[in-house]
Amino acid sequence: MQAMMKTESISAGMLIADRYRLEEPLVRGAMGTIWRAEHVGLKAPVAVKFLDPVLLGDQEMRGRFLQEARSAAAVRSAHVVQVFDSGTEGGIPYIVMELLEGESLDQRLNERGLLSPAELRKIFGELARALGKAHSLGVVHRDLKPANIFLAREGPYEITKLVDFGIAKVRSEALAFTQAGTRVGTLLGTPQYMSPEQARGSGAVDYRTDLWALAIVACECLTGRCPFSGKTVGDLTVQICTERPTAPSQLGHVPPGFDAWFFKATGKAPGQRFKSIAAMEMALAPILSSAEARAMVPSGHARGRATPAWSLPSASQIRSVSRTLATGIELRVRQAREFLREAGSKLELVLAREAVYFREEMASVRGRFDILFERLPEPRRRIALVALFSLCGMGLLAVSRMERAAAISASPEALAPERAPAPGTPPRAVRQAAPALQPAPPAEPAPPR
């Protein structure tokens, strides 16, 4: 009854700590509910996470909730959700975090399907930076999965954020809460992504359990399937602890070399895995980069199924091409302006206005393409890419014509029509080469003395 009253007391419009006004609930998780709120003093949006009132009597769960706040706040990284404040309201602990706009990796995979090698390389690299900072502080996440990887939108860009340190393991005494310890034999985490030592409930879990989980996530991003498929938690645990995982190439199409990388990252013993998350990311990057390069040329047929003659470019690749071409156009315009300024042409004012127009248009085009390619479905990106190349080609052609016009205007003699020579007059080239052949002008009579 007490828990029910406390749950009902959390409602829209409620003021938390005299600073945060609740607006609406966003998502409910295993440990509590996250609300959208506003900092009344700064007028800034924030997210407030409350511990589920049902768990208030569990001291270990309270300790883990507070541990989440301290662990996430200690790992200062652009790729970890920021924690601003924490406290207790009406006996219910809360955490104030940055409000993220976007979707989780789990939602992305469910709605759009598999990731391309380029997309995985970006996401994996940003996660590696976040985990590298966490591991250097002695913080082990222990619950890496697509649902805890958030793809936050910041304008036209997307940044990967690691969230939910609720069951993180902390080695540093400065960060750890004594009541948040882990009992031997307790199963913590999501079974499909657990390492063997974590599935056994061993207390000797270190940062290498995160390497295992991240390899499972990478496999799922490329194939859409997990390498372990037990129907129950018991079957899944036995598979993880005793059986070799299914090769990713048997689950779907993966780049060459990915299988070897995956088996290295999922060694049964922690010592068989990569030495660090940085080494793991460094080994994966060239595998995905080579797959990106092959995706831009005809690829024939994948094993077991037909594929298009060439793969559609990713949004990041198209964005890079558009910026390069737009920068080239701006450079040509600047060169034309400098030429006209030195030549002192009367057309300088007109072409200066054209240069401003081109510069503004290119900046606008780059901004629109950044947003457009994030929203376009995959089948339409090819058409958009052709349109982009056509637009940039027309711009370059226009600049070239302006340069030719400027060159003509800089030499007025070129614009004057050449008079036709008198009959019998040798060509101009002959007259210039042999002036002696020209008739001498008649001598003027001497003036009388």
Least confident of 31-35, 44-48, 198-202: 198-202
Letter string b/e over residues 95-111, b meaning 16 or more CB atoms within 10 A of that residue's CB: bbbebbeebbbbebbee
The larger pLDDT score, comparing residue 439 to residue 12, is at 12
Contacts of 270 (CB under 8 A, 6+ apart): 195, 197, 206, 208, 209
How would residue 191 be classed by pLDDT, with cut points 50, 70 and 90?
Answer: confident
CATH architecture for segment(s) 1-99: 2-Layer Sandwich (3.30)
Mean pLDDT, the chain, rounded, equals 76
Going from the C-alpha of 256 to that of each of 175, 273, 287, the distances in angstroms are 42, 19, 7
What mean pLDDT comes out for the span 255-262?
95
pLDDT digits (tens, 9 = 90+) for 354-387: 666 666 666 666 666 666 665 666 566 667 677 7
How would residue 433 be classed by pLDDT, with cut points 50, 70 and 90?
Answer: very low
pLDDT for 281 beyond 80: yes
How would residue 429 be classed by pLDDT, with cut points 50, 70 and 90?
Answer: very low
pLDDT for 210 beyond 80: yes
pLDDT for 30 beyond 60: yes
pLDDT digits (tens, 9 = 90+) for 132-160: 988 988 888 888 999 999 999 988 889 99
pLDDT for 95 beyond 70: yes
How would residue 280 be classed by pLDDT, with cut points 50, 70 and 90?
Answer: very high
H/E element, 158: strand 157-162
pLDDT for 42 beyond 50: yes
How would residue 305 be classed by pLDDT, with cut points 50, 70 and 90?
Answer: very low
143 a catalytic residue: yes
The CATH code for residues 101-170+187-293 is 1.10.510.10
In terms of average pLDDT, the best of 166-180, 186-200, 267-281 is 267-281
How would residue 301 be classed by pLDDT, with cut points 50, 70 and 90?
Answer: very low
Q: What is the pLDDT of residue 143?
A: 85
Q: One-letter amino acid identity for 345?
A: S
pLDDT digits (tens, 9 = 90+) for 262-271: 999 999 999 9
- pTM of the prediction? 0.60
In 3D space, the residue among 143, 145, 162 whose CA is nearest the CA of residue 205 turns out to be 143
The larger pLDDT score, comparing residue 7 to residue 68, is at 68
pLDDT digits (tens, 9 = 90+) for 327-343: 767 777 777 777 666 66
Ranges of each domain in the chain: 1-99, 101-170+187-293, 315-409
d(CA 24, CA 30): 18
Which of 52, 143, 164, 210 is catalytic? The answer is 143
The larger pLDDT score, comparing residue 257 to residue 204, is at 257
CA angle, 179 then 182 then 185, to 5°: 145
Whether the CB-CB separation of 230 and 236 falls below 8 Å is answered with yes
